[in-house]
Amino acid sequence: MQGLIVIDVQNDFCPGGALAVPDGGSIIPAINTLMDRFPVCVLTQDWHPADHASFAANHAGAAPYSMIDMPYGPQVLWPTHCVIGTTGAAFHPALRTDPAQLIIRKGFRAAIDSYSAFFENDRSTPTGLEGYLRSRGVTGLTMVGLATDFCVAYSALDARRLGFDVTIDLTACRGIDLNGSLAEATSKMKAAGVVMRSAL
């Protein structure tokens, strides 16, 4: 059984959003088409409280995209984005949501960020996605969405660690590329056995 994981196609990550990924909105038609090819479809949604520890605005004098050390490791301080209940946190209006059987919200714990669809950034607190996929009989995953070098990559690496076969459709992903993060993430995914394809 194959599943499609559509990661964080939300207004704040698309053009005009608080943390817009370059060219992020252009992937939506490809994602909408892919949804019809998979019997299992899951959407993830960044879902942060306003006082989230990963927001630069919540650290006096901190600049967006600077780094701090958190109990779970290094943390990028992001512009405030995807705050619970805001328009920025909503799925992009052009994204089809009806084909999804499950929506996973992540990052709702104020003290810890959550890039991966499977775990918080401590790499141990689960979102529940693994159990859902196992119960549906899913063994292979295709991942698309935003951003390639953060939430998509973390999700892919965790999925491989959990034993799933993983393919990234690069035509339906876009990256931030923060200080070389895209090349680093791509290298890690390839080393972990993630299949990188430019079209499916």
- Catalytic annotation, residues: 8, 106, 151
Residue environment code for 17-28, b if the CB has 16+ CB neighbours within 10 A, otherwise e:
bbbbbeebbebb
Q: Which residues contact 84 (CB under 8 A, 6 or more apart)?
A: 47, 48, 49, 50, 108
β-pairing, 73-76 with 67-70? antiparallel
> How many C-beta neighbours within 10 Å does residue 1 have?
11
Q: How far is CA 28 from CA 69, 91, 126, in A?
A: 34, 11, 27
Q: How many residues appear in the chain? A: 200
Rg (CA), the chain: 16
Question: How far apart are the C-alpha atoms of 10 and 12, rounded to whole Å?
Answer: 6
Q: Scanning the structure block, which residue is given the tokens 């600077």?
A: 66
Question: Is 173 in contact with 146 (CB distance < 8 Å)?
Answer: yes
